[in-house]
Amino acid sequence: MPTTIIESKDFNLFYGDFQALKNINFQAEENTVTAFIGPSGCGKSTLLRSFNRMNDLIEGVQTTGETNINGISVYDKSVDVNELRKRIGMVFQKPNPFPKSIFENVAYGLRIDGIKDKHIIEEKVVSSLKKAALWDEVKDNLKKSALALSGGQQQRLCIARALAIEPSIILMDEPASALDPISTSKIEDLIYELKKNYTIIIVTHNMQQAGRISDNTAFFYMGELIECDDTKTIFTNPSNLRTQNYITGRFG
Amino acid sequence: MHNTKKNRLIDKSFQFWGIGNTFIGIVLLAIFIGYIVYLGASRLSFDFLSSLPSRFPDKSGIYTAMVGSVWIMFLTAIFAIPIGVSAAIYLEEYQKKNRFANILEINISNLAGVPSIIYGLLGLQVFSRTIGLGGNLLAGALTLSLLILPIIIVATREALKAVPNLIKDASYALGATKWQTIRHQILPAASGGIMTGIILSISRAVGEAAPLIVVGALAYVPFVPTSPMDDFSVLPIQIFNWISRPQAGFIVNAAAGIIVLLVITFSMNLVAILIRNKFEKKMN
């Protein structure tokens, strides 16, 4: 029986008066890739950001319902949001390395966690860069500024940075939308590789990408989760007409 | 077709109008500086820089005023920078965006535009009389701190605002607290802009005479201040005092004093520009 790692139960989210998510019920199992698809403004990124409470950073956000990560209710008052985020890696749409060296970018999460031992930091930086398939390209100049890397390398550096804090979940918000096709395929290969050890949620506007890399696909429309199923089922035999129309490119 | 010709003419005439206006400022400044240098350059010497004031123009120097200016610069920086920068961090990063925040923001911008002599009157009443500091360096520096606080706050907020949200999000997503994000990401990224704002505001303080005269700075100080509790003069006051003297020799002294003051403020601005360029390069 597969373990449920991420679960939203009757989850609603409001930006002020605007309801961005309506009664979401969603589950993701351990070591799977789930793709979130849907037209812009449908709430897929909002739901993604609700898992590690990044929406807290926006003023006027209110939620009802429940979100459980590893069985812990993350909107419970007793939950330390910083500790929560340390267990969940996040990769953003545009590569956003810090204006620091490659090494310091990956080490940042460890340093703010209070780790001071140089050997531990070095070891984790190296292993994270290896896991993010960037090690061979940067091993000779770890002191170089991360901003000197190409866009695709920067995005893999951001993945390495997220991996360094050893999360069990990785959230990706259109991680390849700003990249060229070659860099995109490298990221996709990497996601396939990472799936063995991590639970991954990826927001994407690219249908082919969703089809290639995900086990499950969730289709969102106007703040509602219309349908979530096996990726093959969603793409070949969706049960909802709107899903079918979106996938075949009739709107969105 | 006929419109193209007309539009081109309008375009050209605006260009000339713009060039003309650009040069008005530069030419006037060049004439002013040229005249000052012509008047005062011959008076510039080591003696002039190292002599105490005197009633004889050719024996008179700006040593005490220069030391007073350095003291004022230093003390003002000590008071204004920590308060201004932390207030800006609070307003930009912690303060919730509500009506109260709006009122605060508008008022701080307004304070940056209040005439300096008003600050002088405030300083006179609060620091010189109520607290009883009189006309010493401390009272002057505190008054100038009030004067430049809003400028530092506004400049620092602008610099903090310019830090991309992407960077902040990346830090928060790794589990960093607000303070860790400010300390390790936002402040380093904004430090170029913050320092530029600080240096420009301090150089503004160095050029102020009016508020210090109101507070009670002296024009004739025959000794060098050695503690914040000493009476003092500063360059702008010394210059102002010389200009109001009848003897022609003091006019030359004033011109030479202006050159010294200009060199100080120009070099501070230059440092500000260099710092900004250096940080811009680092960020990109």
**Which of A124, A145, A166 is the last residue in one of the domains?**
A166
- Please give the pLDDT value at position A1: 61
The closest alpha carbon to A171, from A40, A55, A42, belongs to: A55
Is pLDDT at A194 greater than 60 in this prediction?
Answer: yes
Residue B192 lies in a domain: yes
A10 and A42 share one domain? yes
A73 and A148 share one domain? no
A201 and A218 share one domain? yes
Contact state of A83 with B189 under an 8 Å Cβ cutoff: no
Beta carbons of B99 and B265 less than 8 angstroms apart: no
Q: Kindly report, residue by residue over A105-155, the tens digit of the pLDDT.
A: 999 999 999 999 999 999 999 999 999 999 999 999 999 999 999 999 999
Residue A128 corresponds to which tokens in the numbers above? 């994270």
How many domains does chain A divide into? 2
Coil, helix or strand for B136?
strand
Is pLDDT at A37 greater than 80 in this prediction?
Answer: yes
Burial pattern A179-211, b for ≥16 Cβ within 10 A else e, equals beeebbebbbebbeebbeebbbbbbbebbebbb
**Which of A134, A166, A198 is the last residue in one of the domains?**
A166
- Tell me phi and psi for residue A96, to 5 degrees: -130, 60
Contact state of B189 with A99 under an 8 Å Cβ cutoff: yes
CA distance A237 to chain B (A): 36
DSSP string, A191-210: HHHHTTT-EEEEE-S-HHHH
Q: Regarding beta strands A72-73 and A224-230, do their DSSP bridges make them parallel or antiparallel, or are they unpaired?
A: unpaired
Is pLDDT at A180 greater than 80 in this prediction?
Answer: yes
- Residue to test with chain B: of A96, A124, A174, most B Cβ within 10 A: A96
Residue B36 lies in a domain: no
Residue B2 lies in a domain: no
Calculate the average pLDDT of chain A: 93
Is pLDDT at A192 greater than 60 in this prediction?
Answer: yes
Is pLDDT at A159 greater than 80 in this prediction?
Answer: yes
Taking contacts as CB-CB distances below 8 angstroms, the residues of chain A near B175 are 82-86, 109, 112-113, 165
Taking contacts as CB-CB distances below 8 angstroms, the residues of chain A near B169 are 54, 57, 92, 96
Contact state of B188 with A83 under an 8 Å Cβ cutoff: no
The closest alpha carbon to B224, from B209, B216, B210, B234, belongs to: B234
A131 and A172 share one domain? no
How many domains does chain B divide into? 1
Taking contacts as CB-CB distances below 8 angstroms, the residues of chain B near A59 are 96-97
- pLDDT 10s per residue in chain B (284 long)? 578 888 999 999 999 999 999 999 999 999 999 999 999 999 999 889 988 888 888 888 899 999 999 999 999 999 999 999 999 999 999 998 889 999 999 999 999 999 999 999 999 999 999 998 988 999 999 999 999 999 999 999 999 999 999 999 999 999 999 999 999 999 999 998 999 999 989 999 999 999 999 998 887 788 888 899 999 999 999 999 999 988 888 999 999 999 999 999 999 889 888 888 887 776 65
Domain that holds residue B133: 47-283
- Please state, in angstroms and rounded to a whole number, the distance separating the CA atoms of residues B150 and B111: 6
- Please give the pLDDT value at position A211: 92
Q: Regarding beta strands A216-221 and A33-37, do their DSSP bridges make them parallel or antiparallel, or are they unpaired?
A: parallel
- CATH number of the domain at B195, please: 1.10.3720.10
Taking contacts as CB-CB distances below 8 angstroms, the residues of chain A near B185 are 98
Q: Regarding beta strands A4-15 and A61-69, do their DSSP bridges make them parallel or antiparallel, or are they unpaired?
A: antiparallel
Q: Is the ipTM of this complex over 0.95?
A: no
DSSP B16: H
A83 and A100 share one domain? no
Beta carbons of A152 and A182 less than 8 angstroms apart: yes
Coil, helix or strand for A15?
strand
A107 and A129 share one domain? yes
Residue B31 lies in a domain: no
- CATH number of the domain at A227, please: 3.40.50.300
Beta carbons of B17 and B209 less than 8 angstroms apart: no
Residue B34 lies in a domain: no
CA distance A183 to chain B (A): 20
- Tell me phi and psi for residue A134, to 5 degrees: -120, -15
Contact state of A112 with B188 under an 8 Å Cβ cutoff: no
A138 and A182 share one domain? no
Contact state of B172 with A89 under an 8 Å Cβ cutoff: no
Q: Kindly report, residue by residue over A78-104, the tens digit of the pLDDT.
A: 999 999 999 999 999 999 999 999 999
Please tell me chain B's helix, strand, coil percentages from 3-state DSSP, rounded to the nearest 5. Answer: 80, 0, 20
Intra-chain end-to-end CA distance of chain A, in Å: 36
Give the total residue count for chain A: 252
Residue B62 lies in a domain: yes
Give the total residue count for chain B: 284
A32 and A131 share one domain? no
A101 and A135 share one domain? yes
Give CA A127 to chain center in angstroms.
Answer: 20
B126 to chain A, any CB pair closer than 8 A? The answer is no
- Please give the pLDDT value at position B55: 84
Give CA B16 to chain center in angstroms.
Answer: 33
Domain that holds residue A124: 95-166
pLDDT > 90: percent of chain A: 84
B47 to chain A, any CB pair closer than 8 A? The answer is no
Beta carbons of B139 and B133 less than 8 angstroms apart: yes
- Please give the pLDDT value at position B1: 59
- Please give the pLDDT value at position B58: 83
